[in-house]
Amino acid sequence: MESQLELEAERVKLVDKLRQALPDLTTREAAVVDGVYRDGALSHKVKRLIALGIALRAGCTNCILAQTKHALNAGATKDELLETISVEVVMSGTTGVAESLRVIKLLDELGKL
């Protein structure tokens, strides 16, 4: 499996290029994202953990990496990430395990595992 940190760095570069190419779209999209992930009945961190579970279920590599990093930046612990994985695996079975390996590898590369 390739380096998840390298994939994440590539994702960030490409998102920056997308922002330059489509500033109107990405500005509007960012406003929606900011509104959705704001603390409400659920905290920002919990919303990011939910988003990670959905990303894992969808099998979206970019989403998995982004939501893992967002969750960590929101204060999620390794144990919270692992519990999120466990819920997703119960819902998805072996495909959930396969997609979760990206999170495990990223945590390992970040020295958090």
Q: Read off the CATH number of the domain in which 33 is found.
A: 1.20.1290.10
The tally of domains found in the chain comes to 1
| pLDDT of amino acid 22 | 98
Asked whether 70 and 48 are in contact (CB, 8 A), the reply is yes
Q: Which two tokens stand for residue 12?
A: 């960030």
Provide the domain limits for residue 59.
4-109
CA distance 81 to 107: 9
CA distance 23 to 107: 32
Q: 10-residue block means of pLDDT along the chain (113 residues)?
A: 94 97 98 98 98 97 97 98 98 95 97 95
The type of residue at 40 is G
| pLDDT of amino acid 93 | 94
pTM, to two decimals = 0.94
Q: Which two tokens stand for residue 31?
A: 């406003």
Asked whether 80 and 88 are in contact (CB, 8 A), the reply is no
**Tally of residues, the chain:** 113
| pLDDT of amino acid 57 | 96
